């Protein structure tokens, strides 16, 4: 899987700086940046502010709020000097991302309160690409960044956006800056960093479309797995995420999670939902572990944590799991996590009306 990190930040910043230097001698203060209310100069300063702010969040390991600092451009700094500030702050973010451990998360409000180094890298790249576009639009310049950079951003922090054949124009549409022939224009938007649900010995880490595609193709999804992982159920679930993303129906909080041990940062299994809750506020869950991780209570811990997170929401009243009749260990996991066999009539309806395989038994937990 292509990493999202310092190299991408540097590539985005280098492309922006090269373009902006061609117009460094023009008036940036008196020109509005595209559809923004800001001037081109204010927008350029904003790029640098975001880059250094993201570096500060990661470097300071901020967990509850933004680190309370800001940068100030010295009076008299011309546009060429401002470009140097963007390059410097970009280098600082790139270096911070490269030296931050994979499991580190820092505060960012949208939408789940945090991001890892890959998320901050993606956000930094997005700020550079999109605001360079805004400045270019204001100054009448042509600007189109590399398609792969745009795809990197989309598959990390826009998991809810159906991909299109043109990654740059899809990113512009997803941020209210452009139009696509088959989609209504957006007036409001936000990106989505992956959700992480804490458990006692594990963290349940939401799988991005980029990670899902890599897992489906036989890769690691960017996780460090224990021997024998990922297991076949995790790979199959990743395929479901990849298909939902391609169709534009993926909702990250109702996708899949990889179970990562706190003690060593290694992945031991997967868990997740088979889709968003239905019209009766019911959702299906599934889980599996790498064989060498079984017998340690990880699946029970993960299922309990995921269930408590889901049932605390207003849009979920019942969770259910379909477990093979011969799989006693998995049945025990469900029972220990608070699930119980449904009554015979409900199960028979599932067989007759919903096509449930009769080799499976239904377990449910209510909120």
Three-point CA angle 271, 205, 230, nearest 5°: 55
Point out which residues pair with 32 in neighbouring strands: 39
Q: What pTM, to 2 d.p., does this model score? A: 0.95
Q: How many residues are recorded in the chain?
A: 367
Task: Judge contact between 270 and 237, C-beta under 8 A.
Answer: yes
Residue 347 clears pLDDT 90, i.e. is over it: no
Per-residue pLDDT reduced to its tens digit, 167-224: 999 999 999 999 999 899 999 999 999 999 999 999 999 999 999 999 999 999 999 9
User: Where do we find the tokens 């209504």?
Assistant: 184
Confidence of residue 354 (pLDDT cuts 50, 70, 90): low
Give me the architecture of the 196-366 domain, per CATH: 3-Layer(aba) Sandwich (3.40)
Per the rule left: phi > 0, alpha: psi between -120 and 50, beta: everything else, 67 is beta
Sequence spans of domains, the chain = 6-174, 196-366
Distance between start and end Cα atoms, the chain: 38
Give yes or no on whether 6-174 and 196-366 have one common fold: no
For residue 288, CA distances in Å to 77, 237, 302 come to 57, 10, 10
Task: Judge contact between 135 and 28, C-beta under 8 A.
Answer: yes
Average per-residue pLDDT in the chain?
95
Per-residue pLDDT reduced to its tens digit, 148-170: 999 999 999 999 999 998 999 99
> CA torsion angle for 309, 213, 8, 53 (degrees, to 10)?
-10
Per-residue pLDDT reduced to its tens digit, 203-219: 999 999 999 999 999 99
CB count, 10 Å around CB of 301? 19
Region 6-174: CATH code: 1.20.120.450
Task: Judge contact between 121 and 6, C-beta under 8 A.
Answer: yes
Output the six-digit token pair for 306: 């995921």
Q: Which residues contact 266 (CB under 8 A, 6 or more apart)?
A: 223, 224, 225, 226, 260
């Amino acid at each position: 899987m292509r990493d999202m990190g310092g190299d991408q930040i540097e590539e985005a910043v280098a492309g922006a700086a090269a373009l902006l230097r061609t117009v460094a001698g023009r008036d940036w203060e008196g020109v509005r940046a595209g559809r923004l209310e800001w001037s081109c100069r204010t927008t350029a300063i904003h790029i640098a502010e975001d880059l250094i702010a993201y570096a500060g969040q990661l470097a300071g390991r901020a967990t509850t709020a933004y680190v309370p600092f800001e940068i100030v451009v010295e009076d008299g700094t011309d546009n060429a000097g401002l470009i140097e500030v963007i390059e410097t702050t970009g280098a600082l973010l790139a270096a911070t991302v490269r030296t931050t451990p994979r499991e580190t998360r820092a505060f960012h409000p949208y939408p789940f309160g945090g991001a890892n180094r890959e998320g901050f890298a993606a956000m930094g790249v997005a700020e550079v690409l999109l605001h360079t576009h805004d400045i270019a639009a204001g100054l009448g310049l042509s600007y189109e960044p590399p398609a792969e950079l745009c795809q990197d951003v989309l598959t990390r922090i826009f998991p809810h956006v159906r991909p299109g054949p043109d990654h740059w124009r899809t990113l512009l549409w997803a941020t209210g800056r452009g139009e696509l022939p088959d989609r209504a224009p957006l007036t409001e938007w936000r990106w989505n960093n992956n959700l992480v649900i804490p458990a006692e010995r594990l963290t349940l880490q939401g799988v991005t479309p980029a990670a899902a595609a890599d897992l489906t193709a036989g890769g690691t999804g960017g996780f460090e797995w224990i021997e024998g992982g990922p297991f076949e159920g995790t790979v199959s679930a990743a395929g479901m995420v990849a298909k939902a993303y391609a169709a534009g129906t993926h909702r990250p909080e109702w996708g899949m999670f990889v179970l990562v041990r706190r003690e060593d940062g290694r992945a031991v299994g997967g868990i997740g939902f088979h889709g968003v809750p239905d019209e009766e506020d019911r959702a299906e869950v599934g889980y599996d572990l790498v064989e060498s991780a079984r017998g340690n209570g990880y699946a029970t811990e993960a299922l309990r944590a995921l269930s408590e997170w889901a049932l605390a929401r207003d849009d979920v009243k019942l969770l259910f799991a379909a477990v093979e009749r011969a799989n006693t260990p998995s049945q025990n996991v469900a029972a220990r996590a608070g699930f119980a066999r449904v009554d015979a009539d409900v199960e028979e309806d599932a067989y007759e009306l919903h096509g449930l395989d009769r080799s499976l038994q239904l377990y449910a937990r209510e909120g």
